[in-house]
């Protein structure tokens, strides 16, 4: 290997004639075994290598762990998922993060070393998603996850800066959010009265429960003797390794105590009667080990697929179109707003971290007043009338 003499001040820069490239070696000290570590920098011109060397020297001076420069984005993402997420984050949310990274991000930049990652690489991920007509919210979440991965890597001295912070998610298509009118809500509640998951629909519509929160409600979390009667949202029913188990709620603010109007109390009393009837009918096979309020006919946790079919059946009977369980939560926010509840009370009832989340996700106009409460919704749905249309 032939090396040309280097210029004064160029440090370890030399020319490899056999490979027709300029090379620089940066001393990184010794590892824990005493072995000397050096970083190899290459380029087609002396100036290119000199600039790269200067950048590496600055990074080293700032404490960047250049010995781990081979760490890829995929490896950093795995570190985030295993060590960087809050311990109380639900398994469902963890699974969603992992799927988002695996499907949308890693195929594009997973193999790229962190030290070589640039803002255009992040943009390539989003451009690929936009070409596939991903929703704007999905692209924003993907960008947020890329920023979190790089922020975690930054804390571990694997990167000098978070290049994803300079990138903005494209607008993308926005899926319309569907609200229902008070008249449609009344029809839905009437149709629910004759279906076995009707009480679950009633509570979800009045209180804005997430599907997992409603399915994970236990009798021990309900106090019908309180004034007013209340329920405590403390768990969520989740599928983990093909088993339905009680897990934590989505976020710390999702743990909440909600006052219940008379319609919810009546629905729970109906559910008590139904559960007692099914327990006596299937006494040998009955198994409600989790003390769940809403169960199958044998007392086992509800299968989410069966809940989706049940909600759609009730919605069809009420003359509504496509309807899935989470729309009950969206509809609840719309109806609470139409009933005159202030946005702060809606956010508290839904268990949102802030009113910003409520306003962004449920985009219907929010009526701001200072003398409304949950009873407003009971009054809205218990009286006949035309009612205006509300939308998310």
Amino acid 62: pLDDT:
67
Model confidence at 176: pLDDT above 60:
no
137 & 276 share domain: no
Higher per-residue confidence, 56 vs 84: 84
Amino acid 175: pLDDT:
58
**Is 173 within the bounds of a domain?**
no
Which one of 108, 140, 166 terminates a domain?
166
224-253: b (≥16 Cβ within 10 Å) or e: eeeeebbbebbbbbbbeeeebebbbbbbee
Amino acid 275: pLDDT:
95
Chain segment 116-126, per-residue pLDDT in tens: 788 999 999 99
Model confidence at 32: pLDDT above 80:
no
Higher per-residue confidence, 74 vs 93: 74
**Is 361 within the bounds of a domain?**
yes
Higher per-residue confidence, 220 vs 41: 220
208 & 343 share domain: yes
Secondary structure (3-state) at 20: coil
Quote the CA–CA distance of 122 and 109 in Å, as a whole number: 8
Least confident of 2-16, 54-68, 82-96, 222-236: 2-16
357 & 289 share domain: yes
**Is 31 within the bounds of a domain?**
yes
201 & 349 share domain: yes
Q: Are 23 and 14 in contact (CB under 8 A)?
A: yes
Range of the domain at 42: 13-62
219 & 304 share domain: yes
Please, which pLDDT band fits residue 361 given cuts at 50, 70 and 90?
low
187 & 280 share domain: yes
**Is 4 within the bounds of a domain?**
no
Amino acid 19: pLDDT:
82
Chain segment 83-115, per-residue pLDDT in tens: 888 877 777 788 889 999 999 999 999 988 887
What CATH number did the domain enclosing 226 receive? Answer: 1.10.443.10
Q: How many C-beta neighbours within 10 Å does residue 180 have?
A: 28
Model confidence at 131: pLDDT above 90:
no
230 & 302 share domain: yes
Secondary structure (3-state) at 197: coil
Chain segment 274-311, per-residue pLDDT in tens: 999 999 998 889 999 999 999 999 999 999 999 999 99
Distance of CA 274 to the CA centre of its chain: 34
322 & 347 share domain: yes
154 & 246 share domain: no
Distance of CA 388 to the CA centre of its chain: 32
Long-range contacts of 141-149 (CB under 8 A, 24+ apart): 141/100, 142/100, 142/104, 142/105, 142/169, 143/167, 143/168, 143/169, 145/97, 145/100, 145/101, 145/105, 146/105, 146/122, 148/80, 148/84, 149/73, 149/76, 149/77, 149/80, 149/101
Chain segment 303-352, per-residue pLDDT in tens: 999 999 999 999 999 999 889 898 999 899 889 888 888 888 999 999 88
Q: Are 109 and 122 in contact (CB under 8 A)?
A: yes
Percent of the chain at pLDDT > 90 equals 44
**Alpha carbon of 327 to those of 74, 242, 357, 362, 392: distances in Å?**
35, 25, 16, 11, 10
Partnered with residue 142 across adjacent β-strands are none
**Is 174 within the bounds of a domain?**
no
Model confidence at 177: pLDDT above 70:
no
**Is 389 within the bounds of a domain?**
no
Quote the CA–CA distance of 380 and 104 in Å, as a whole number: 43
Which residue in this structure is represented by tokens 């420069």? 69
Percent of the chain at pLDDT > 70 equals 84
Q: Are 123 and 167 in contact (CB under 8 A)?
A: yes
Please, which pLDDT band fits residue 7 given cuts at 50, 70 and 90?
very low
Higher per-residue confidence, 159 vs 335: 335
Least confident of 18-32, 76-90, 254-268, 290-304: 18-32
Higher per-residue confidence, 270 vs 359: 270
Partnered with residue 247 across adjacent β-strands are 236
202 & 319 share domain: yes
**Is 177 within the bounds of a domain?**
no
Model confidence at 371: pLDDT above 50:
no
Amino acid 367: pLDDT:
42
221 & 366 share domain: yes
Span 358-387, mean pLDDT? 56
What CATH number did the domain enclosing 144 receive? Answer: 1.10.150.130
254 & 367 share domain: yes
Distance of CA 181 to the CA centre of its chain: 28
Which residue in this structure is represented by tokens 């202030």? 342
Average pLDDT across the chain, whole number? 83
Least confident of 47-51, 160-164, 385-389: 385-389
CB burial of residue 305 (10 Å; 0-12, 13-18, 19+): exposed
Tokens linked to 85: 């997420």
Total domains, the chain: 3
């Amino acid at each position: 290997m032939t090396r040309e003499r280097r210029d004064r001040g160029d440090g370890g820069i030399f020319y490899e004639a056999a490979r027709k490239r300029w090379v620089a070696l940066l001393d990184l000290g010794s590892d824990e075994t005493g072995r000397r570590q050096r970083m190899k920098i290459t380029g087609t011109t002396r100036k290119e290598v000199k600039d790269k060397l200067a950048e590496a020297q600055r990074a080293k001076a700032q404490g960047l762990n250049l010995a781990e420069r081979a760490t890829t984005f995929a490896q950093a993402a795995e570190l985030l998922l295993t060590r960087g997420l809050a311990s109380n984050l639900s398994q469902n949310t963890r699974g969603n993060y992992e799927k988002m990274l695996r499907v949308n991000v890693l195929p594009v930049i997973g193999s790229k070393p962190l030290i070589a990652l640039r803002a255009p690489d992040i943009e390539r991920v989003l451009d690929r998603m936009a070409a596939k007509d991903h929703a704007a919210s999905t692209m924003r979440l993907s960008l947020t996850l890329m920023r979190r991965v790089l922020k975690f890597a930054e804390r571990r001295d694997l990167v000098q800066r978070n290049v994803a912070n300079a990138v903005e998610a494209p607008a993308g298509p926005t899926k319309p959010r569907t609200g229902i009118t008070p008249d449609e809500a009344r029809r839905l509640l009437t149709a629910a009265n004759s279906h076995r998951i009707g009480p679950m629909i009633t509570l979800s519509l009045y209180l804005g429960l997430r599907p997992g929160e409603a399915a994970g409600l236990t009798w021990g979390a309900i106090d019908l003797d309180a004034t007013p009667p209340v329920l405590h949202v403390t768990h969520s029913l989740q599928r983990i390794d093909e088993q339905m188990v009680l897990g934590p709620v989505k976020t710390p603010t999702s743990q909440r105590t909600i006052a219940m109007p008379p319609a919810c109390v009546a629905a729970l009393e109906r559910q008590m009667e139904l559960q007692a009837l099914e327990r006596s009918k299937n006494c040998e096979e009955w198994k409600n080990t989790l003390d769940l309020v809403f169960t199958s006919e044998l007392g086992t946790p509800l299968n989410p697929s069966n809940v989706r079919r049940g909600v759609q059946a009730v919605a069809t009977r009420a003359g509504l179109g496509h309807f899935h369980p989470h729309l009950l939560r969206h509809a609840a926010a719309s109806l609470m707003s139409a009933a005159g509840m202030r946005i702060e009370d809606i956010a508290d009832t839904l268990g949102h971290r802030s009113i910003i989340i409520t306003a962004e996700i449920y985009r219907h106009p929010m009526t701001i007043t200072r003398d409304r409460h949950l009873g407003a919704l009971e009054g809205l749905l218990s009286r006949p009338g035309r009612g205006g249309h509300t939308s998310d």
